[in-house]
């Protein structure tokens, strides 16, 4: 198949990608959540900019576990404190209390959920975890300036992914790690991946996250892990059961976009077998995203005006 393309030599300008500031508190997505969305900070929920204390215990809780990739960094313990967001409960609250958005002058929920933790730093690992997110009734974009963890099946239509349809959902953050439904927060520090056996998991979402780029990592060179390790893993997806090696499947339908480097979860990729064994990657682009109306809410985008014709009077 023939074709052609143009470069800067033909006057084609480089588009500027969104800056990491757009996901930080006070940035673009935070403002969208304060306008007509949901904002969660340290487990405290705001709806269209107004504090809703009654929502806190329903949709948000706190948990801690070891991020075994971050534990590879000698300057970190790997202990991660997260705000657990119950996605199913969140959707129920948004539906049952839709009047809160109406009274705020919004008309309806704008589909943006922004979550952050004030104490998150490279040496104090804190993040957001999405759980009970098997089914969605509407388009939602989850955004955080911290690492985001997806626990179990996500946006596959039903608990066992056997029925229902997926919605246009995006997950945007400092880094995105996928945990199977077999994950346990009690896994011991410094334990090997064989003690953390994953199960087949389905995640359907557009993922926008940072990486730790290839390059010089102090006394050694490092590799980003490449496209195949863009979503991060902490489990053994190739366990041995009764002497037989199995290959757990991670099914994903969506899209990946890397627009910044990770600032909080910034430990370099250490390779398969170091703290995880890779899944069978059943990944495909979600063709629904080819239709403008079916893109997730507030997709990162760039706009450039080009004057191509004018008439001087």
Which pLDDT tens digit goes with each residue over 148-161?
Answer: 999 999 999 998 89
Q: How far is CA 212 from the centre of its chain?
A: 16
Which pLDDT tens digit goes with each residue over 206-219?
Answer: 999 999 999 877 66
pLDDT of residue 16: 59
Dig out the tokens for 123 from the structure. 């040496």
Three-class DSSP labels, 33-97: HHHHCEEEECCEEEECCEECHHHHHHHEEEEEEECCCHHHCCCCCCEEEEEEEEHHHHHHHHHHC
Order of strands across the sheet that contains 50-51: 50-51, 44-47, 38-41, 112-116, 140-143, 169-173, 201-211, 249-261, 280-285
Which pLDDT tens digit goes with each residue over 114-168?
Answer: 999 999 999 999 999 999 999 999 999 999 999 999 999 999 999 889 988 999 9
pTM of the model: 0.90
């Amino acid at each position: 198949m023939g074709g052609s393309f143009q470069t800067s030599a033909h006057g084609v300008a480089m588009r500027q990608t969104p800056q990491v500031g757009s996901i930080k508190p006070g940035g673009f997505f935070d403002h969208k959540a304060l306008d007509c969305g949901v904002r969660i900070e340290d487990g405290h929920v705001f709806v269209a900019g107004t504090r809703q204390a009654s929502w806190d215990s329903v949709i948000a809780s706190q948990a801690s576990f070891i991020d075994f990739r971050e534990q590879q960094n000698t300057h970190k313990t790997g202990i991660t404190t997260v705000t657990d967001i119950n996605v199913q409960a969140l959707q129920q609250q948004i539906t049952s209390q839709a009047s809160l958005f109406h009274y705020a002058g919004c008309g309806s929920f704008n589909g943006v959920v922004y979550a952050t933790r004030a104490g998150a730093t490279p040496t104090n690992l804190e993040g957001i975890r999405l759980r009970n997110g098997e089914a969605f009734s509407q388009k939602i974009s989850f955004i955080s300036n911290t690492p985001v963890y997806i626990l179990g099946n996500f946006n596959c239509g039903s608990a066992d992914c056997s029925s229902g349809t997926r919605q246009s959902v995006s997950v945007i953050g400092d880094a995105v790690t996928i945990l199977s439904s077999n994950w346990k927060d009690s896994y011991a520090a410094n334990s090997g991946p064989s003690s953390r056996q994953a199960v087949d998991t389905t995640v359907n979402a557009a993922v926008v996250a940072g990486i730790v780029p290839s390059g010089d990592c102090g006394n050694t060179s490092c590799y980003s892990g490449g496209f195949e390790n863009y979503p991060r893993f902490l489990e053994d997806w190739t366990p041995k059961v009764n002497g037989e090696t199995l290959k757990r499947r991670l099914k994903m339908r969506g899209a990946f976009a890397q627009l910044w480097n990770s600032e909080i979860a910034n430990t370099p990729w250490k390779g398969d077998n170091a703290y995880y064994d890779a899944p069978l990657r059943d990944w495909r682009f979600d063709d629904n995203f080819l239709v403008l109306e079916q893109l997730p809410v507030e997709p990162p985008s760039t706009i450039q005006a080009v004057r191509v014709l004018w008439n001087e009077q």
